[in-house]
Amino acid sequence: MRTLHALGLLLSYPTNELVEVMPELRNVLLAEEFVRAETLTTLEPLFKTVRDVPLLDLQEDYVSLFDRQPGLSLHLFEHVYGESRDRGQALAELSDLYASSGMLVANGETPDYLPAFVEFLGAQPEKEARRLLGEVGHILLLLSQRLEQRQSPYGAVMRALTGLCEPHPEETRVEEASRINPDEAPDLEKSWEEPEAFPSRACGSTLATTDNTRKAKMRG
């Protein structure tokens, strides 16, 4: 699903290369029609922001949003395990999954980084990609709610991903977690009384691909 590649890139740290490929990402989403028309409309503010806002401002806003607010972290396991020992084991299993698929984790990033997880799913068969995405659908829904509360255009990307989950996450599953202070690291595992958000074959990693490689994927 090239749509997943596009959505993963939309959640990535802004660079000149990403700005240049934005029109292509938009065209992919329009052409494949996996994302509903009304959701595509809500993505337009993000395309406009990336087009019109200076790159340094985009980067500063991105870091302030996702790196400095634990409740908005793009590292999926932080929302499940926090800093517990279980997270280390989950990260190791995740790295093994990527290695078995011939993908590597880029230096300086942990393997549960959401943009890379989504990009990985884009290389999987559609049914499997939707199923694996569904396993983190409750986290995506929570993030979309928190981003929308801040009127962030990135909330639309989370909503688009949520719409691709199978099964679709229920709003009631995150009702309690939504009451958690979004500036505090959430413990969703306790909130939902579930043992884990992923099975042992969970996913997500920063793929060691260049921007040119990613552009080639989008054109393929």
**pLDDT at residue 191 greater than cutoff 50:** no
pLDDT digits (tens, 9 = 90+) for 37-49: 999 999 999 999 9
Give the residue extent of every domain in the chain: 2-219
- Contact indicator for 37, 29 with CB cutoff of 8 Å: no
Least confident interval from 77-86, 184-193, 196-205 = 196-205
Mean pLDDT value across the chain: 79
Residues 79-84: contacts with CB within 8 Å, 24+ apart? Answer: 79/139, 79/142, 79/186, 79/188, 79/197, 80/139, 80/188, 80/189, 80/196, 80/197, 80/198, 81/189, 82/185, 82/187
pTM: 0.76
